[in-house]
Chains A and B, each alone.
Chain A
């Protein structure tokens, strides 16, 4: 089993407008832990930095500062080319994440071969079929031979999940895995992820803008606003008892079937955007407001304390 400790993760993007160079801080000192069998949800609007965090965790981009420590149960650090065997991702758009040119078999077989899970064609094929069956793609033999355009959106996303799990991944980053799917199949895919998590003891990071599914499918929720965590805590506490203005605004704006005819009555969400303060965070675990600077210091201190022990060899990710 693998877990991930993220400490004060920060990412700056350089923006060039003419001769001037500006930096935009997409992610600012975000810390959280991903542990087996638990799901952490990152909730926020577009531009809140949640997809950047996914890219940093999967190493598609390098963080400007901060640490991502991945380690096994016995605290052996995971680094180098083995990293991808442990941390995998499911992309948002199933229409874009599968190569139209290749068969389904290719998509699932490649990670198996790259990470030496199988060693010959016959065992690879058998394993591919087994993986497809695990994600409820039936008949797996025939689906393996098809191409992405012959499958529906939900089926494609199941293939993407199979591909992510093929190397034996223990940490799964799901970046809006159902937002591009038809509504009636979304829960099916989420429930599938839930079952695989239980069976494989996965640590899952669920990135979404949908508060309702975040609440039902995760244990802990982090609400992101402009790159910073503004509220964090157990899923029910964050959604049912929001403290931060921004979380309240999101909760009121989300359509809720139990609030019929409420478009005008759903309370006043008109908190001015500029009035939202993202330098403080409400931590339901502590039951208190924490400033971003204090939170960053505390996270650094915790990691440093842990690092003096057997975790001293943990990998340092540099920008």
Chain B
């Protein structure tokens, strides 16, 4: 296992120019099983307003656990063992998320920080229309008249590139990409300041994935929310993120701008991840010499 010489303070380089919207300090999450496992270890990051922060890592590295813990959506046996998560509201107030009571936390969750999960498109209720499900979210969180709610639902669907006429459709009448767009619309309904997306496009075909990524970047430009984008697909992150955090065995081993991470990766693991993706247009066979088939590279994973 490789360890970083010292934890990189994210502010040291590539500090977001604008005021941050979320600050995570030394967050540690432990799975309380027979032999407790530290899934996230002293993770620190700062999310700038309107920034797309990529979180890269492989299965079991703790990236999903980190995302859930930020929102306190983690479930036992996971437990936050230390650290702080502070949300900086638009109006200047700071909210300590780890200290929130249940009810304020519930109100906070979807309205300020929403999430899109990997299999989200399959979590739509199959027997209710898309419109009804969007309406539910609005009713639970906002005081709006029926007409206002309908208008808002139609508006978000249009924004994600789905015809508002689809409000009356049932989930099975939509394609996978379309359903994922509906989920993104649902996450945007209450105009949150942060959206956490956990592998939102992994289950989709490349062309659809590309369209949705484009949509996310465009919406970010329009609405200025911050995005934490979690995936194992580093080339994809390089394309869409402002900054990228690379996680290995629960620790953030490198955090830098996408550009610098691509050109001069500091951590050996980042270099290895980058080397795992053959270039589509680059020289043929160049990577095969680097990509060792030795089993050692696999076993080296902690």
Contact = CB atoms under 8 A, between A and B. Distances in A.
A82 to B, nearest CB: 31
B172 interface: no
B232 A191 contact: no
Contact of B239 (A46, A235, A261, A270): A261
Interface string A264-307: 10100110000000000000000000000000000000000000
A262 B258 CA distance: 12
B293 interface: yes
Given A258-B281, A261-B258, A264-B214, A250 B206 contact: yes
Given A45-B205, A216-B284, A252 B210 contact: yes
A194 B238 CA distance: 29
A263 interface: yes
Given A188-B295, A255-B233, A250 B207 contact: yes
B280 A254 contact: yes
A260 interface: yes
Nearest to A262: B239
B207 A253 contact: yes
A260 B262 contact: yes
A188 B281 contact: no
B291 A253 contact: no
A98 B291 CA distance: 26
A134 to B, nearest CB: 12
A187 B274 CA distance: 12
B287 A240 contact: no
B63 to A, nearest CB: 12
Contacts of B278: 187, 212-213, 215-216
Interface in B102-121: none
A182 B58 contact: yes
Contacts of A158: 295
Given A137-B295, A186-B276, A264 B301 contact: no
Interface in A145-198: 152-155, 158, 182-192, 194-195
Interface residues of A, number: 52
Interface string B251-285: 00000001100100000000011111111111011
A76 to B, nearest CB: 34
A138 B206 CA distance: 36
B297 interface: yes
B209 interface: yes
B290 to A, nearest CB: 8
A16 interface: no
B284 A183 contact: no
Given A251-B280, A261-B259, A154 B214 contact: no
A249 interface: yes
Contact of A136 (B211, B262, B293): B293
B259 A185 contact: no
B248 to A, nearest CB: 10
B239 A45 contact: no
B250 to A, nearest CB: 16
B238 A257 contact: yes
Contacts of A260: 238-239, 258-259, 262
A260 B233 CA distance: 13
A194 B276 CA distance: 16
Given A182-B232, A212-B277, A253 B297 contact: no
Contacts of A154: 295, 298
Contact of A253 (B210, B276, B282): B210
Question: 10 tightest A-B contacts by CB?
Answer: A187-B291, A191-B293, A253-B210, A255-B235, A45-B205, A255-B236, A182-B58, A136-B295, A257-B235, A253-B206
Given A182-B59, A187-B275, 4 more contacts: A138-B295, A158-B295, A183-B234, A263-B240
